[in-house]
Amino acid sequence: MRISALAALILMSSASAALPAHAQASLSERVDGIDQKVQPQSFRDLSKRLMPAVVNISTSQTIAPDGMPTFPEGSPMERFNEFFGRDEEGFRREGSLGSGFVISPDGIIITNNHVIENADEIDINFSNGRVLKAELIGRDSDTDLAVLKVESSTPLPFVDLADSDKAEVGDWVIAIGNPFGFGGSVSAGIISARNRDLNAGRSDDFIQTDAAINRGNSGGPLFNLGGEVVGVNTAIISPTGGSVGIGFSVPANLVKRISDQLIKEGRVRRAWLGVNVQDADETLVRAYKATGKGGVIITRITDDGPAANSDMEVGDLVLRFDGQTVTSVRELTRLISDTEIGRTVPIALVRDGKARTVNVTLGELEDDDTTEELNAALDAPASSNDLGAELTSLDDDVRRRYGIPNDVDGVAVTTVSARGRSFGKLRRGDVVMEVNFERVSTVSDTISKVETAMTTPHQPLLLRVKRRGEAGWFDQFISIDLTNS
């Protein structure tokens, strides 16, 4: 989700609203800025001090001919070349606008990657009217951050990054940027929430704010009252295309870590465990005879990856990583990304109902190795067994029908009852390989193990299945509550 354009621009007049009486206090000045523990009656002084370090960014790129005709010189239609923005060779140029901010007097600038992506030229416009050409130092698409550099004969005004871990919901913040090309615009609000996940990348950990953010604010700073950058404005959620009070900023601590790597190496290096995982809810955790609200289950281990060179196995329930509790895939991904490459970390897990610790030396991530599931609709008649799913042995005909590899053993799911226990859990074409950690190879063996499991009260059934996804076959772990009909 990126900041989208408004369908229409409505001009409205408004009066400045005064803060509630209990929120008003006089400013307390200090050497390095404004004390953020007091509430200003106005953001005037803070805005004046910060604006010189906030820049407007304009980019342009050359687009190759796209099949549209280019009219020859002297032709009555020649004037339409300029109308379509094309030169005599059929090329045209496109531009974009965004925001950024200077973090050092020698001209290092932070912005969003999507502001400068594919740009041939990047111009930095300062609040005093000065324009400088920028060089791209490095960019990271996962966090949508980019670092630029401008050359200046004199030191540039700059701002510092805050410790964003100290930012709390309810703190006052102001955003300064270039919305819709209106440079030097200031909006104020509060931090509405922390740790938001927009499914935009493996490092999602956004700060949510109600300070107005619109198209052109991308890459601009979100300041605390101490004049420090608490986040980089990156995205909004909006049914109208304009600000509705739900904006998102990349936290400053993540910005600092990513920008430091981009400045030093021109790219971001991330640690890699070499596994695919799925979330484990409380029911799945209980099926593993463990305790807790969640965890993650290893569904695939990459050949020759760090996990493959350790004692980890597919099916392991991971509960702690390097001493920190893991309750979700998102959390584990962020912990791995924040860990130093080459470091050996302890991973606490449960296997076959028994707790153990495995040490893994993390490698370096090179390729995005995510696996997307194939979402198939299930609509089938009732089934007579306790699973509510029809099963069949794996013969040549079944393997051909569902594309099941020869090295996959178990029983195939042919239909799933909409009224059965497995509805929404199993899918047509799944191969059930284990029931409660025990291998199965025949339908009768599978049903027998399910019936045995039903004699254990309040203990969910755990199935290990092979499932076909867009990237191939992978392991999936499913818990089924046998107490429900």
Catalytic residue among 144, 205, 210, 430: 144
Give me the pLDDT at residue 254, please: 93
Fold match between domain 271-364 and domain 389-480: yes
Give me the pLDDT at residue 202, please: 64
Give me the pLDDT at residue 163, please: 94
Helices (H) and strands (E) in the chain, counts: 8, 28
Domain boundaries, the chain: 43-268, 271-364, 389-480
Catalytic residue among 187, 192, 218, 238: 218
Catalytic residue among 114, 204, 238, 422: 114
Q: Report whether 216 belongs to an annotated binding site.
A: yes
Q: Report whether 217 belongs to an annotated binding site.
A: yes
Q: Mark residue 484 as left, alpha or beta (left: phi above 0; alpha: psi -120 to 50; beta: remaining).
A: beta
CATH of 43-268, picked from 1.10.287.80, 2.40.10.120, 3.40.50.300, 2.60.40.10, is 2.40.10.120
Known catalytic residue: 114?
yes
The domain made up of 271-364 has a fold known as Pdz3 Domain (2.30.42)
Class of 389-480 per CATH?
A: mainly beta
Cα separation, 125 vs 114, in Å, equals: 18
Q: What is the mean pLDDT of each run of 10 residues along the chain (485 residues)?
A: 36 33 36 50 90 92 54 52 49 71 96 89 92 93 92 94 94 92 88 81 81 89 95 82 84 94 89 89 88 88 89 92 89 87 94 92 69 29 65 85 89 82 86 92 87 79 87 85 60
Cα separation, 50 vs 222, in Å, equals: 11
Cα separation, 159 vs 181, in Å, equals: 22
> How many Å separate Cα 405 from the centre of its chain?
33
Known catalytic residue: 218?
yes
Q: Report whether 144 belongs to an annotated binding site.
A: yes
Known catalytic residue: 458?
no
Contact call for residues 198 and 89 (beta carbons, < 8 A)? no
**32: DSSP letter:** T
